[in-house]
Chain A
Amino acid sequence: MRKFRLFINPVEGRKKWLNEQASKGLRLKHAGRFLYTFEPSAEPYEYDVQYIGYMANWDRKEYESFLQQLDFNYWTVSINVGKFAFGSVRLRPYARGVGKVATSPGMIGQELMILEKRSDGKPFDVFSDEESVLESLQERQKPYLYTSALLAVFLWYIVFVLQDPTWILILPGLLLLYCLYFAVLLGKMIRKQRERCAIHN
């Protein structure tokens, strides 16, 4: 069965929805950008969603091979944030090392990973200790901060320097608000997680 779904919150929102489908006895067969295919399953499964956009191509491939060794099923899907495109080359200044330049195919359209685990009664989390949770939140915040800064400069330039505001600017304006919202939300989550890390490790 096919389901169409758009997520405002690409990570937590997706995880929650996938696990709701799983609790109805469905198992993920295919994941696209908006379209998901499920099939009924007698076995219970659980899902988690991980941001992998900061990984360089070789790093992601190594991670995939690691997951295969551990017998995890996974799907890579796309979110569109923090990408600055020149033809098929995109810059991600917030990524690590050579990951800063994303080239198609491989790195573009593979920013998120959905992981599947057969339920064993314990919650399934890709990150199981406080430090790695903190690190993953920090990696997720970077593209939002970067895109927000880029859009803010762009809007400021058109409105105040060129003094040429048009209605079409409402679109980058809305995108800016969306990115700022997540930058702040993740900032709050990072602060909370830092407090946890100060006590537990």
Chain B
Amino acid sequence: MSKVQEAPLTETAFLVLLAMYTPNHGYGVMQFVEEKTNGRVVFGPGTLYGAINNLRKKGWIKPLPVEKGERKKDYVITELGMAQVEQELRRLKEIQQIAIDVLGGEQG
């Protein structure tokens, strides 16, 4: 649980982690992702619920204490989660660079 994993993150996990750099709840994550991807990614409720549970079990996000009368559960990314995001960003940059190198002048 304390290790930064080498395997690439899924797009879903990556986006959920990014949405939780500020405390956020399920509905907020859905809106964040839909807005940032201009509607390309719309999470289904089953997918988002599963992703939040998995990330919580891994300790990459953590629930914030629920205030009385508040029904929305907020989560925030942990240090470990941030380390995963940074590693994923390095991986994506490397792949992007390979693609740019290969495509070369064909890049519009």
B107 interface contact, C-beta 8 A: no
Q: Bound state CA distance, A79 and B48, in angstroms?
A: 25
Q: A68-B71, A129-B12 are in contact. Are A122 and B25 (CB under 8 A)?
A: no
Q: A68-B71, A201-B11 are in contact. Are A128 and B42 (CB under 8 A)?
A: yes
CB <8 Å contact, A69 and B73: yes
CB <8 Å contact, A127 and B71: no
**Please, which residue of chain A has its CB at the minimum distance from the CB of B9?**
A201
**Interface residue ranges of A76-133 to B (CB < 8 Å):** 115, 122, 124-129, 131-132
B26 interface contact, C-beta 8 A: yes
CB <8 Å contact, B45 and A132: no
Tell me which of B26, B46, B49 has the highest count of chain A C-beta atoms within 10 A of its own C-beta.
Answer: B46
Interface of A is mostly: mixed
CB <8 Å contact, B71 and A69: yes
Q: Bound state CA distance, A124 and B43, in angstroms?
A: 10
A153 interface contact, C-beta 8 A: no
Measured CB to CB, the closest approach of chain A to B91, in angstroms, equals 13
A-B CB contacts (within 8 Å), total count = 58
A141 interface contact, C-beta 8 A: no
CB <8 Å contact, A66 and B12: no
Q: Chain B contacts of A50 at CB under 8 A?
A: 46
**Please, which residue of chain B has its CB at the minimum distance from the CB of A120?**
B42
Q: How large is the interface on B (under 10, 10 to 19, 20 to 34, 35 or more residues)?
A: 20 to 34
Measured CB to CB, the closest approach of chain B to A129, in angstroms, equals 5
Q: Chain B contacts of A63 at CB under 8 A?
A: 49
**Interface residue ranges of B1-49 to A (CB < 8 Å):** 8, 10-12, 25-27, 30, 39, 41-49
Q: Bound state CA distance, A65 and B46, in angstroms?
A: 13
Number of residues in A with C-beta < 8 Å to the partner? 24
**Which residue of B25, B47, B49, B73 is within 8 Å of A129 (Cβ)?**
B47
A12 interface contact, C-beta 8 A: no
Q: Bound state CA distance, A136 and B39, in angstroms?
A: 24
**Please, which residue of chain B has its CB at the minimum distance from the CB of A122?**
B42
Q: Bound state CA distance, A129 and B44, in angstroms?
A: 8
Measured CB to CB, the closest approach of chain B to A132, in angstroms, equals 4
A20 interface contact, C-beta 8 A: no
**Which residue of B26, B44, B71, B73 is within 8 Å of A128 (Cβ)?**
B44
Q: Chain A contacts of B48 at CB under 8 A?
A: 128
Measured CB to CB, the closest approach of chain B to A44, in angstroms, equals 17
Pairs A–B under 8 Å by Cβ, sample size 19? A50-B46, A66-B45, A66-B73, A69-B25, A69-B72, A69-B73, A70-B26, A115-B45, A125-B44, A126-B46, A127-B44, A127-B47, A128-B42, A128-B43, A128-B47, A129-B10, A129-B12, A129-B47, A132-B12
Q: Which residues of B does A touch, CB under 8 Å? A: 8, 10-12, 25-27, 30, 39, 41-51, 71-73
